[in-house]
Amino acid sequence: MRFKIFTLLFTTFTLLMNAQNQQNLDKKQSSLVSISSLTAIGNIEDLKLELNKALDSGLAINEIKEALVQLYAYCGFPRSLNAINTFKTVLDERKAKGINDIEGKKIIVENNVEDKYEQGRKTLETLSKTSQSKPAKGFGEFAPRIDTFLKEHLFADIFVSDVLTYQQRELVTISALASLNGVESQLQSHIGIGKNTGITDKQLEQLADLIQEFVSKTQANTVRKIIGKPLVPIIENDMMIRISEIEIVPEFLEEYKSILKEEASASVKLEKGVIAIFPMFQQKNPNQIRIVEMYADKEAYQFHLQTPHFQHYKTSTLKMVKSLELIDMTVIDSETMQDIFKKLK
């Protein structure tokens, strides 16, 4: 009797765990999200790292190739080709290290059907669960060639390959669109299509979290808004803003500016918690340096102080600084500040 009860409890627990896991993005799905978002914004440096992680997670070479090819339709040939070349470099480096990655299913190059437009139209109907007119209303009637490209090439030539499932392809599309500014209507449409393929709201929440990590809170919030989830504040209450007023000994000015430029660049590039380090000097008095510093929070600032590039800056310029005053600031209008950052993108 006890054995039967134990077996029943174990089976129930296993079923619940499996159901929970199905609600989460797995490692392969998460990799498709990160690869797609980084390709869309052209972040090659981080893309290289995520491509390695994707291969380690079990994504096949041809699965990644298919994702990068598909992305040209959403973020253009230059971003797609740059990502493909980066992937080739990653594979060459891994091969040189003796790593043999899984090739995966063979990629279909040719699509020999009698009517590609009809093939693509039916694929889109399957994905959207909505009747698709011929030509598409609106843009298709106004510019028939783009409707033809959409149906015959994207939803026929590209989607005919079963190397990626429809669900995987929608993860790729949603991730790219979520990373780009000004395509909210297309993002909303593809989130609906993604749900038709079985993508859950919980998985979309996790997708948004990855977009926040690799792109920005602003872009992640576009996904959260569409699926009706709470938005993450762009500006946190403990965000740290400071103006550094520095006077430099004249004979060291050029050397100081060179070191400061290198430090500011490294901080913004390498530290996620550094929102901005913006050095300037007064036109009428070049020895007077001003730096606008913005950190996500105090913890990010403390981390910044320990970085090698800041330590190098601090020790190298100590003799160059005649005076230093650090002025902590508080934001008056956080909403307008968000608009400023949107313009800078």
What pLDDT digit, counting tens, does each position of 298-313 carry?
A: 999 999 999 999 999 9
Q: What's 59's DSSP letter? A: -
What confidence score (pLDDT) does residue 225 get? 96
What tokens were used for 81?
Answer: 């080709």
Residue 10 has pLDDT above 70, yes or no: no
Average pLDDT over residues 38-66: 97
Residue 205's pLDDT band, with cuts at 50, 70 and 90, is very high
pTM to 2 decimal places: 0.78
Direct distance between the N- and C-terminal alpha carbons of the chain, in angstroms, rounded to an integer: 66
Q: Which of 179, 270, 188, 261 is nearest to 217 (CA)?
A: 179
What confidence score (pLDDT) does residue 331 get? 85
Average pLDDT over residues 325-329: 96
Q: What's 76's DSSP letter? A: -
What confidence score (pLDDT) does residue 16 get? 44
Q: State which amino acid sits at residue 325.
A: E
What are the CA-CA distances from residue 124 to residues 136, 150, 175, 258 (Å)? 11, 10, 19, 55
Pair 231, 225: CB distance under 8 Å: yes
Summarised one tens digit per residue, pLDDT across range 113-149 is: 999 999 999 999 999 999 999 999 999 999 999 999 9
Helix (H) or strand (E) holding 247: strand 240-248
Least confident range of 3-17, 105-119, 251-265: 3-17
Q: What's 93's DSSP letter? A: H
The shares of helix, strand and coil residues in the chain, as percent rounded to the nearest 5, are 65, 10, 25
Summarised one tens digit per residue, pLDDT across range 160-192 is: 999 999 999 999 999 999 999 999 999 999 999
What confidence score (pLDDT) does residue 1 get? 56
Residue 334 has pLDDT above 70, yes or no: yes
What are the CA-CA distances from residue 180 to residues 41, 71, 73 (Å)? 7, 12, 13
Average pLDDT over residues 70-88: 97
Cβ partners under 8 Å of residue 178, min gap 6? 37, 187, 207, 208, 211, 215, 219, 220, 222, 223
What confidence score (pLDDT) does residue 73 get? 96
Pair 327, 242: CB distance under 8 Å: yes
What tokens were used for 103?
Answer: 């090739």
Residue 20 has pLDDT above 50, yes or no: no
Summarised one tens digit per residue, pLDDT across range 220-270 is: 999 999 999 999 887 777 789 999 999 999 999 999 999 999 999 999 988
d(CA 55, CA 31) in angstroms, rounded, equals 9
Cβ partners under 8 Å of residue 205, min gap 6? 224, 227, 229
Distance of CA 100 to the CA centre of its chain: 27
Average pLDDT over residues 89-115: 95
Residue 3's pLDDT band, with cuts at 50, 70 and 90, is low
Residue 15's pLDDT band, with cuts at 50, 70 and 90, is very low
Distance of CA 187 to the CA centre of its chain: 14
* Percent of the chain topping pLDDT 70: 92
